[in-house]
Structure 1
């Protein structure tokens, strides 16, 4: 069983970017010392209350210099917003600088604001994603590269550097929609899944879609196939944990409700959007606890993880300790230490 940490990086009005970056790097260095496997950073643009981290690769490079063993993951890189050759160069550079510790998490994202800000049509995101993924793999594995696809063209390019890891850094897709679960299964990619987008009651159905697509394509399930992403916090008891994290969770759902947008101007989509916004504004702590979280003392967390592991068959838990950004740096460090001391050894 592997245990990872995950970050968006919300920035409240009372916080500043430099301090938030310093805290993230310090928490990652502590994760390295405590025996966590990978730190995963999300890419988000133009919404600092949701995340002030548009360039996770740069922060991962800083983390690489403060750590020796911790693997460096993107969860995820918003591939349609980048030229795939530039992205291949940057990720390979990080792999070289870190001694081969990169985990490449790829996805499309769900917020229209990211696409609008870069002038990219969100309707083209799946095509851009699928073409870009193949180009990046080719850039890492071929000495010279030629391609002519719908959105990208190149002739006889030598892309450098090549990553240290062979044939390339591990690739994992963020599976949120039914279509992505199907695509990932059909191509036998390991996946991220869980969290608010696919909470515990929904996750099993989505994993069945992935497994059916695997079987239909004649693939075996890949090793380390599921990184189950869940909100996690451990403390002396459930009441103490709730007091520590509830304001931060409330902040997270309030901010999400502000930045989501309807898929189209149609009356149907507008109605669904308004209903979703109301659900986000009104979601309460017990609901988050039961559907998305592992919150409590060490013994409770051990039992909860064991039950979910048996239910979903994952061998990697991505722990989202810092949901919402308001729990406080020292509280996050304390929770990580307690988790590593009391919970992780039960699964290793």
Structure 2
């Protein structure tokens, strides 16, 4: 199995954005294969320990590209209707060049009403804008010249990867998941997703020709020496996360979980991999055997409720004792 870090702060509880590149370089040295940045806007401190930081994902990716050499750098995901396709095509291609072909282009429809209102984009137009923008970006990367305004222009640079960086679509609708597979792209799945919904998505994706082993699956993750120690270290973060998800109405908004799925005990079982070394190995093997999952995107800071020191201790133990077993 391969492990990545995911979140608007890469699933870490960094004190500020300036600290992230060095932390991700340390994660790379531990064997972490990928890092994924969310695009989120208008975040605020959620609790007294600081909460998450949500820097610009494209700029953060550029900083990480210069601080690392092998880790892949992805987006989970960029909200495509909020971007100009020409500008984004140039920026992602530039990232791919300066990272020597390490970019994974994760995109989403992004129909958040607050975001759409602030960016002056109609929610009703997001589906059409997503399809149109993605089509334009791919054409800019592949064609020698594109029609732009009243002229024909060669959009440069072209990506280092051929024909382009892998496309990952963050979607939680089985019909869209099947369409992504038919288009030859990949889906990416969130950490706030119960088993019953994950199964629906993967079944639809697989039936349409998608390779489940290519799907990154998000999970809140924490490993300690023993189950008792892991429970002690994660208990407050799990409780606070459960309360936060309930307060924002995630079951109604995301529709990938039910209210019962985000209660603390259910969160332990369905949305997280938490435990001692042997327990975490067993839970990961279950995901591999039951669903065919080979890639785990760890949300290790539990939306910022887990202290950075505890998170990094978990990653070191993952590297030393869990990864070799898988």
**1:243 maps to which residue?**
232
Q: Equivalent residues in 2 for 1:118-197 (5 A)?
A: 118-146=119-147, 155-196=151-192
**1:336 maps to which residue?**
315
Matched, 1:48 2:44: yes
Distance 1:225 1:170, change over 3 A: same
| Partner Cα distance (1:86, 1:106) in 2 | 15
| Cα displacement (A) at 1:81 | 0.5
SS of 2:189's equivalent? Answer: strand
Is the Cα–Cα contact under 8 Å of residues 88 and 139 in structure 1 kept in the other structure? Answer: yes
TM-score (norm 2): 0.88
Distance 1:254 1:146, change over 3 A: farther
Q: Equivalent residues in 2 for 1:255-294 (5 A)?
A: 255-259=244-248, 279=259, 283-294=262-273
Q: Gaps spanning 5+ residues in structure 2: where?
A: 47-51
Q: Equivalent residues in 2 for 1:278-317 (5 A)?
A: 279=259, 283-317=262-296
Instruction: Single out whichever of 249-258 and 181-190 deviates more from structure 2.
Output: 249-258
| Partner Cα distance (1:249, 1:287) in 2 | 10
Is the Cα–Cα contact under 8 Å of residues 182 and 210 in structure 2 kept in the other structure? Answer: no
**1:6 maps to which residue?**
6
TM-score (norm 1): 0.83
Is the Cα–Cα contact under 8 Å of residues 237 and 296 in structure 1 kept in the other structure? Answer: yes
Matched, 1:210 2:205: yes
Could you report, residue by residue, the CA deviation over 1:92-150 in whole angstroms, capped at 9, with x for unpaired residues? 11111112111111112353222222111122111111111111111111111127xxx
Is the Cα–Cα contact under 8 Å of residues 189 and 225 in structure 1 kept in the other structure? Answer: no
**1:225 maps to which residue?**
214
Matched residues, number: 319
SS of 1:114's equivalent? Answer: helix
SS of 2:15's equivalent? Answer: helix
SS of 2:16's equivalent? Answer: helix
| Partner Cα distance (2:199, 2:275) in 1 | 23
Instruction: Single out whichever of 252-261 and 300-309 deviates more from structure 2.
Output: 252-261
Is the Cα–Cα contact under 8 Å of residues 281 and 325 in structure 2 kept in the other structure? Answer: yes
Distance 1:277 1:342, change over 3 A: closer
SS of 1:62's equivalent? Answer: helix
| Partner Cα distance (2:2, 2:250) in 1 | 35
Aligned-CA RMSD value: 2.9
Distance 1:32 1:276, change over 3 A: closer
Instruction: Single out whichever of 117-126 and 45-54 deviates more from structure 2.
Output: 45-54
Could you report, residue by residue, the CA deviation over 1:263-301 in whole angstroms, capped at 9, with x for unpaired residues? xxxxxxxxx67x999938x94321101111110011111
SS of 1:165's equivalent? Answer: coil
Matched, 1:109 2:110: yes
Q: Gaps spanning 5+ residues in structure 1: where?
A: 148-152, 215-219, 263-271
Is the Cα–Cα contact under 8 Å of residues 188 and 222 in structure 1 kept in the other structure? Answer: no
| Cα displacement (A) at 1:188 | 2.9
